[in-house]
Chain A
Amino acid sequence: MTTTTIDTAKVLRRRRIRQEWGRPWLYLPLTGLLLLMVTPFLWMLSSAFKSEGDIRRIPPDLIPTSPTLANYRELFSSLDFTRMFANSVIVALAVTAGNLIFCSMLGYALAKLEFRGQRTVFGLVMATLMVPGLVTFVPLYVLVANMKLTGSLLGLILPFLATPFGVFLMRQFISTLPDELIDAARVDGCRELAIFWKIILPLTRPALATLGIITFLGSWNNFLWPLVVAQNESQYTLPVGLALASSGQDFTRFGVLLAGAVVVLLPVTIVFLLFQRHFVAGIATTGLK
């Protein structure tokens, strides 16, 4: 009698745990993986506020015992990270704005309007989705150099203002909007371009948000092109500045490099953590289409 009651209690407890936690044995491998995923970030964040001696202390402290901003001070004074930060922001914002405008315009035309050459335009744009940056960067460099743009941020911006991926994403999304909306507007005498501006654009906000996030991140993290085009420190973006700092100087000052990584990673990480719900939803739906 007593044994059965114990068993029932055990079963009930197990069931309650199951309902609340799911399958408890899965937490161990997942937590292990989570540790692997976030340790580099924790190491970076904590070491960037330590002196060189503290970084090398064994065992390492997770929270710096005597936190210092010396690494950041050196970064911004000797390497002009302020300028690079501003460059990264300007380039990423301009590229994002360009893609939102130009890609949604063509995306709407391809999804909802009829015109001669539609298939050709679509096929051509899609075909270049697969062309690696490596194929175009040499002539692109020559082109931008001949336009005398290597000395300005415009050279970093122009080639990325309109990308095939953006057209693909916007066209896919706009295709799902009902045609009746557009027909009704036409019957009411709305002009073609006004339909795009007043009806379609407000409805595509979720897709625009996704494209905006993806483009901003892509531009913020872009490396090869700014590395090739930027001629001097006044046009460096953050990744270029960081990469050159890590290879140029002797690689013993962990603190300064890690502080640089913090400056590159922290802004986008904060934006991601704040908006991760929309972010993840956007990426997921893009991937499924």
Chain B
Amino acid sequence: MTTMPTTTLAGQSTQEGDTAGKRPAATPSRRRSTARGRQSRAAWVLAAPFLALFLAFMLLPVVWSTLMSLTDTQSADLRTPLNVSFTGFDNYVRLFQDPQFFTALRNTGVFVLVALPLTLAAGLAAAVALDSGIRRFRAVFRVGFYLPVITSIVAVAVVWKTLLEPHAGLVNTVLAWFGIDGPAWLADTRFALPVMILMAVWRNLGTVMIIMLAGLQSVPQSLMEAAELDGAGAWQRFWRVTFPLLRPALLLTAVTTGIGYLQFFDEPFVMTDGGPLDSTLSATLYAYKQFGNGNYGVASAAGYVVFVLIIALTVLQFRVLRDKD
């Protein structure tokens, strides 16, 4: 993970890409032995198919969307690209003047800041409980907790939508047994986003659990015994011995889950279309709607705002969770 650069300006990337493409042509003149040349040639033969696809479907779109975010591109302009003109940071200015975008950013922020710690804590707790306290049926718990991870969010969202239906859904039926009059969950501005946060925790805690379980099993037993002999209680043993050893794995899951959460889209698309009253409108859903309305420049700009947030969150997580030494 240390190799992951955090500065990824698209402009820089392409320049590097171009020089990388030219380099193999320069190697033969400089090469010392034929063996090395053979190796280098083989390497480029192996790399070429990936790099061709990567160039066309990753680098080109990244550069293109940077440019698009600085122009007034509309869907109608695609047939006549000459009408497009550079407008500098107008799209970004437009974004930040749009209260709806702020709502989308705030919802995304709340979603990530609440769902991410909850997911990590729940997954870690499940892993610790399974690792230390349970002998029978461990596999059943492990498989059950992990099951939601492999599912399609869309299918799961449809299932939850029926569960949360105000009149016939299972959730309100069960609440009614206890005399509670359940709300219209997804149609209520107070509940729609919290419900999606809980769904995200439900769906993703298994990933954290599986990776933490593997980490826990690699904690040397001798270390724990030594700590116990030194008089460390269970709580101290966890925070002083186990947790520091789990930190790199926790960092990795936190980063990947965070990147996914910042692009929160499927649940609001399927369940509420961003409503009620934009209370579940996410940044990605906002960009998708701008794209649907033909505002390609604005959609690309919104993409870059999310990208900057992803970089910021990743840097923050590295600061907080990296080994101190």
Chain A residues within 8 Å of B, Cβ to Cβ: 19-23, 26-27, 29-30, 33-34, 36-41, 43-44, 47, 55-56, 58-60, 98, 101-103, 105-106, 108-110, 113-118, 120-143, 145-146, 158-159, 161-162, 164, 167, 186, 192-193, 196, 217, 220-221, 223-224, 227-228, 238-240, 242-243, 246-247, 251, 254, 257-258, 260-261, 264-265, 268-269, 272-273, 276, 280, 283-285, 287-288
CB <8 Å contact, A29 and B129:
yes
B235 at the interface (CB under 8 A from A): no
Q: Which 3 pairs across A and B sit closest by C-beta, in order of nearness?
A: A192-B42, A284-B214, A287-B211
B215 at the interface (CB under 8 A from A): yes
B111 at the interface (CB under 8 A from A): no
B233 at the interface (CB under 8 A from A): no
CB <8 Å contact, B61 and A136:
yes
Contact check: which of B24, B61, B158 meets A257 at CB < 8 Å?
A: B158
Cα of A124 to Cα of B49 in the assembled complex, Å: 16
B134 at the interface (CB under 8 A from A): yes
SS of B interface (majority): helix
CB <8 Å contact, A22 and B135:
yes
Given A43-B159, A132-B259, A196 and B129 contact (CB-CB distance below 8 Å): no
Cα of A139 to Cα of B111 in the assembled complex, Å: 27
Given A114-B40, A139-B300, A134 and B284 contact (CB-CB distance below 8 Å): yes
Cα of A198 to Cα of B45 in the assembled complex, Å: 16
Residues of B in contact with A, size category: 35 or more
Minimum distance in angstroms from B68 CB to a CB of chain A? 6
CB <8 Å contact, B173 and A246:
no
CB <8 Å contact, B60 and A143:
yes
Cα of A241 to Cα of B26 in the assembled complex, Å: 51
Knowing that A44-B159, A109-B44, A261-B155 are A-B contacts, what are 19 other residue pairs whose CB atoms are under 8 Å apart, sorted by A's residue number?
A37-B144, A40-B148, A60-B173, A98-B53, A113-B39, A114-B43, A120-B16, A120-B20, A128-B62, A130-B314, A131-B8, A135-B303, A136-B62, A143-B60, A224-B266, A238-B152, A239-B153, A243-B154, A261-B156
Given A115-B40, A130-B4, A19 and B135 contact (CB-CB distance below 8 Å): yes
Cα of A252 to Cα of B159 in the assembled complex, Å: 13
CB <8 Å contact, A287 and B154:
no
CB <8 Å contact, B304 and A246:
no
B5 at the interface (CB under 8 A from A): yes
7 A–B contacts from the bound complex (CB under 8 Å): A20-B136, A115-B47, A124-B20, A142-B296, A243-B158, A254-B168, A272-B147
Chain B positions 161-210 with a Cβ under 8 Å from a chain A Cβ: 161-163, 165, 168, 170, 173, 176-177, 202, 207, 210
Contacts of B144 in A (CB 8 A): 34, 37-38
Cα of A55 to Cα of B168 in the assembled complex, Å: 8
Given A138-B65, A161-B53, A23 and B134 contact (CB-CB distance below 8 Å): yes
CB <8 Å contact, B60 and A139:
yes
Contacts of A247 in B (CB 8 A): 270, 273
Contacts of A121 in B (CB 8 A): 20, 47, 51
Given A124-B13, A167-B50, A268 and B173 contact (CB-CB distance below 8 Å): no
Minimum distance in angstroms from B235 CB to a CB of chain A? 15
- Chain A residue nearest to B7 (CB atoms) is A127
Contacts of A122 in B (CB 8 A): 3
Cα of A285 to Cα of B211 in the assembled complex, Å: 8
Chain B positions 270-309 with a Cβ under 8 Å from a chain A Cβ: 270, 273, 283-284, 287-288, 291, 296, 299-300, 302-304, 306-307
B64 at the interface (CB under 8 A from A): yes
